[in-house]
Structure 1
Amino acid sequence: MNDDASNTRDDPLVRIDGLRVAFGETTVLDGINATIEPGTFVGLVGPNGAGKTTLLRTLNGTQAPEAGTVDVAGERIPALDSKAASRLVATVPQDTAVAFEFDVRQVVEMGRNPHRSRFSGWSDADEAAVERALDRTDTEQFVDRSVSTLSGGERQRVVLARALAQETPLLLLDEPTASLDINHQVRTLELVRDLVRQGKTAVAAIHDLNLAAHYCDELLLLAGGEIRAQGSPESILTETALQEAFDANAVVSQHPVTGSVYVTALPDETAERAQGQETSRSRPERVHVVGGGGTAARHLYVLDAAGYDVSVGALNEGDTDTEAARSLALDVETVEPFAGVDPESCAAVERRIDAADCVVVADVEIGTGNLPNLRAATAADEVVLVEDRPFEERNYVGPAATEVYESLRERARVVESSDVLSAVTDAVDGSSVTDADNAAGGSLSRRPAQPGPEEPDS
C-alpha cells in the first residue's frame, strides 16, 4: 500500500475511473466512474444482469477490465498479484459452500493466507486476527464443527469471519442476504453495519431494496451497464428512478417503524387502474382504513397509488399513520394525542364507513380508546381484515373486543398485509369469498381466532 502524501486520509478508499468490462462481444460495464469514502456501507442495487457481481469481481481483482482503472487505498488493483490484492480487499461470495470437510477454525484461518509466505510460521498476529474474527461473528461456538454441518446462515457467518481475518480495509459482499431467512438477513447486515461503524468500508450487492435502504449509507444504482445514480437511499430510491432502472411500478414511502425509505412494488394493472378509473366509473371507489401505531401506513400508500379514494381514522394526532395520511393528503379523522375515540369522532368515522365501498381493518392493537373504530367497522358491507398477528396478541380489552372482532371476521376477507390490495380490488368488484376459495389455499384465509387475554386498557 502506498504511504505517499497523495494517499491521505481524506482520499476516497475506492476510486473507479472509466471502467469497461466485457465478455466477448457483450459489454457488461461501460464507462463506470465512482468513488467510495472510507468507513461507509455502500449498497449496489439494480436489476438482474446490471453488472453488480462483475463490478465486485473487478474490485477484488478477479476480473480484469478492458479499460479504465480501479484503485483501492491508492493501489491499482489489476496490477497486483492475488496475495497483494487480498491484503486490500476481502470478499464474501454469494455461494458460501466449502468443497472439503474443513472445520470452522480451519476455514477462518484461511483468511490469514494473504499475510503469510510459504515458509512463515503461524504468528501471534495471525492467531489474534482469527480470534477477533470469530468473536465478531459469534462463531467461536462452531470452531470444532465441520463447516458442512452448519446451516446456511451459520455458514455465511463463518465465511464472513474468514474475510474479517484477512484484515483488509475493504469488504465486499455479493448478495449477502440471498437464500437466508429474515432473522439471518438482519443479523448479517447488522454485523456489517457494526463493522463499518468501527472503521471498515463495505460494498454489498443487495437485491432487497428495503434492506439496502435501511442498512446502507449510500446506494449505487446500476442499470444497463452504467451507474445511473449514487447517493443516499432517499435520493436514489425514487419512483422515477425505479421505473427507469427496473421498469417497475412502485410506491416509495417511509417505513412506519424504522423511518427508512420503503419500496412497495405494485402489479402492472394497478397503474392502469389509477389512470383509467376516473373515466371508467362515475367516481373512484372509496376505501376507509382503520389503523393506528403505524399499522396502516403501508396500506395507505398502496391504496392511494392504486387510485382509490382513501379515508382513515380515527387516529391520534402525532400517530405514524396520521403523518402518512397527511403526507398523501388523505381524508383523516383525528383525536388528541393519547385520547380515546369520542362520540363526535366516532360519528365522523361511521359516516366515512357508510360512504365507503370497502373498509380495511389493519393489524392494529385494540384498547378501550380505539375499540369504537372496530365497532364502527362492523357496519361496513365489505371488510378486509388484516391479520399478521393473532388477535389475542393485540387485544387489550378482553371478551368485549373479541366479540366485535369475531363478528367482523365471520364475513371479512382475512388476509396478510401483502394481500390487501388484491383483496380490496376483489371486494369493490363484487367477487365473493367462499369456503372453497379458502380451502384452495388462496390469498384469502379464515384462521380460527381465540379469545384475547384480559389485559389492562391502553
Structure 2
Amino acid sequence: MSEPLLSVDDVSAAFGDARVLDSVSLAVRRGEFVGLVGPNGAGKTTLLRTINGVRDPDEGTVSVDGDRRADCSAREWSRRVATVPQDTSVSFSFRVADIVEMGRAPHRRRTQFGTTETDRRRIEDALELTNTADMRDRPIDELSGGERQRVFVARALAQDTPLLALDEPTASLDVNHQVEILRLVRELVGEGRAALAAIHDLELAARFCDRLALLSDAGIRAVGPPESVLRSEVLDPAFETTTATATNPVTGTPTVTAGAGDGTVVDGLGVDARRVHVVGGGQAGARAIATLRDAGHEPSAGVLRDGDLALETARSLDVPVATTPAVGPADPDAIAAAHDLAADAAVLVFADADIGPRQWTLDLAEGAPSTVLIEARPLAERLHAGERARGRYERLRERSETADLDALPSAVDTAVATAERPADD
C-alpha cells in the first residue's frame, strides 16, 4: 500500500487543563476522502487546525507528503494544505473573485506583481467548479452563509494543494449544494489529491467518503469503511445516545437514526429537537438560557464574553458554552466552538444579539434549521456592521419566529415543528 499523504502521529492538544486531543494518530492516502465524524466538542476542529498549521500540537507530529509541519514555513505549508474553515466571516467587503484569488498567495513570488496566466486559470476553474462564477463581482458580505461557504471552497481549490482540510464544508448549504460540494471533493481526490473533512451529517459522510474516523473523548475510537464505523455498538458510546442503523435503498450506504425511539430526530436532519443554541448575552441571553432549561430543552450558548451575565447563568446551569475574552474581537476558536455547539441544535435563538463587522452571529443563525428572534432592543442599537448586514438580518427575520422571553418556549416548539435547513439563497 502507498505511503500516506497525510500522517498525524500521536498528536495531543489542550486548552488550559482541558485535553482536547490525546495521542491522536491518523493517516490519509492520495485518492482518499476521509470523513472526520463525532459528537460536538470531540476535537474535530482542533485536529483540523493542527493539520493546517493554525495551531501547533502540544505533542506529536503532522506530516504531508513526508514533510513535517514543524520543518516548514507557513508559506510552504500553505502549498501543501488548503482549508475550508467553519467560520466564513470576513472583516472587509472583498469581491468574491478577490477572496478566491487569495488562494493563489502561497504560489506567488514576493516580487511578483499582477496575476499570472496560471493564477487566472486556477481562479476561473475554481469559480466554475463551485458554481460561483456568476457572483464573482459581488461583495462577500452581501452573500448568504451558504453562498459564502461555496466561495471558500473555491478559494481552497484555487490554492491547488495535494491535501484539502475541510471543517463542515456543507454548513449552511441546502441539500442540493451539500451533495454538489461533496461530489466535487470526491472527484478531486480521484485526481490524486486527498481530503479530510469534518462532516456533521453521518449519512452524507457515508455516501461520499472512502473511510470514516470517529473522534470521541479526545481520541480516535474507530477508523474504517463507513459500514464498519456506522454501527450502533460503535456510535452509541461515542454520541451517548441510542442509534438505529440501516442501509439506504437508493444509495446503498448506511443510514443512522439517532435517539431512536425517543422522538428526538427532526426530519432526518441529524438535529436534536431538545437542543437549542442561544446567541446573545446580557440579560436577554441569560433569561433565554434559564427559560429554555426550565422548559425541558437542552440549551447551549455562545460566543459569550468573560464576565457576561449570560455566561455566569450558563455555567451555573452546566450549559455548554463557547467563550471569548471580555475585550477585543471574538476569538476564532470560540466562533468555531459555537458552530460545533449549534450544529446539532434544531433551533437557534437570536437573543437580542449584537451584529459586529465580522457578522459571525448572523453566520450562526443562517446555518440553523430554524430560528427564533428576541428583539429587546432596536436593531439600530445592536447593528455595528452597515447596511449589508442590515439586509441579512431582515432576511433572517422574514424566515424566523419572533417572541418575547416569556413566550420563548412555545415559540421554540413551533420552530421545532417546522425546522428545515435554510435555502442557499
What SS is found at the alignment partner of 1:47?
coil
- Offset from partner CA, 1:335-388 (integer Å, 9 cap, x none): xxxxxxxxxxxxxxxxxxxxxxxxxxxxxxxxxxxxxxxxxxxxxxxxxxxxxx
Q: Answer yes or no: is 1:123 the counterpart of 2:116.
A: yes
One of 151, 157, 160 as aligned partner of 1:164: 157
Q: What is the deviation of 1:128?
A: 1.8
- Offset from partner CA, 1:207-253 (integer Å, 9 cap, x none): 11111111111100001111001110000010001111111211110
Structure 2: gaps of 5 or more residues: 269-412, 419-425
How many residues of Structure 1 are paired with residues of Structure 2 in the alignment? 270
What SS is found at the alignment partner of 2:92?
coil
For 1:178, the aligned partner's letter is A
The answer for the alignment partner of 2:65 in structure 1 is: 73
CA distance in 2, matches of 1:198, 1:238: 31
For 2:128, the aligned partner's letter is D
CA distance in 1, matches of 2:132, 2:415: 41
The answer for the alignment partner of 2:6 in structure 1 is: 14
Residues 247/145 of structure 1: CA separation in 2 closer, same or farther (3 Å cut): same
CA distance in 1, matches of 2:70, 2:15: 17
CA distance in 2, matches of 1:158, 1:235: 34
Where does 1:80-95 land on structure 2 (aligned, <5 Å)?
80-95=72-87
Where does 1:189-228 land on structure 2 (aligned, <5 Å)?
189-228=182-221
One of 85, 88, 92 as aligned partner of 1:96: 88
Where does 1:307-346 land on structure 2 (aligned, <5 Å)?
none
Residues 267/62 of structure 1: CA separation in 2 closer, same or farther (3 Å cut): same
Q: What is the deviation of 1:134?
A: 1.6
- Offset from partner CA, 1:255-295 (integer Å, 9 cap, x none): 1211110001235658xxxxxxxxxxxxxxxxxxxxxxxxx
One of 172, 175, 187 as aligned partner of 1:182: 175
One of 93, 104, 126 as aligned partner of 1:112: 104
CA distance in 2, matches of 1:45, 1:36: 15
Structure 1: gaps of 5 or more residues: 1-8, 271-297, 299-439, 446-458
For 1:109, the aligned partner's letter is E
Q: Answer yes or no: is 1:255 the counterpart of 2:248.
A: yes
Where does 1:394-413 land on structure 2 (aligned, <5 Å)?
none
What SS is found at the alignment partner of 2:171?
coil
Ranked by relative contact order (alpha carbons within 8 Å, sequence separation 6 or more), the top structure is 2
The answer for the alignment partner of 1:134 in structure 2 is: 127
The answer for the alignment partner of 1:153 in structure 2 is: 146
Q: Answer yes or no: is 1:27 the counterpart of 2:26.
A: no
Q: What is the deviation of 1:101?
A: 1.2
For 1:70, the aligned partner's letter is V
Q: What is the deviation of 1:160?
A: 0.9
Residues 148/442 of structure 1: CA separation in 2 closer, same or farther (3 Å cut): closer
For 2:132, the aligned partner's letter is T
Residues 92/442 of structure 1: CA separation in 2 closer, same or farther (3 Å cut): closer
What SS is found at the alignment partner of 1:113?
helix
What SS is found at the alignment partner of 1:229?
strand
CA RMSD, 1 decimal: 2.4
Contact 2:149 2:173 in 1 (8 A): no
Q: What is the deviation of 1:114?
A: 0.7
CA distance in 2, matches of 1:103, 1:238: 45
Q: What fraction of aligned residue pairs are identical, expressed as a percent?
A: 52
- Offset from partner CA, 1:295-332 (integer Å, 9 cap, x none): xxx9xxxxxxxxxxxxxxxxxxxxxxxxxxxxxxxxxx
Q: What is the deviation of 1:167?
A: 0.7
- Offset from partner CA, 1:401-447 (integer Å, 9 cap, x none): xxxxxxxxxxxxxxxxxxxxxxxxxxxxxxxxxxxxxxx979999xx
For 1:208, the aligned partner's letter is D
The answer for the alignment partner of 2:45 in structure 1 is: 53
CA distance in 2, matches of 1:25, 1:155: 35
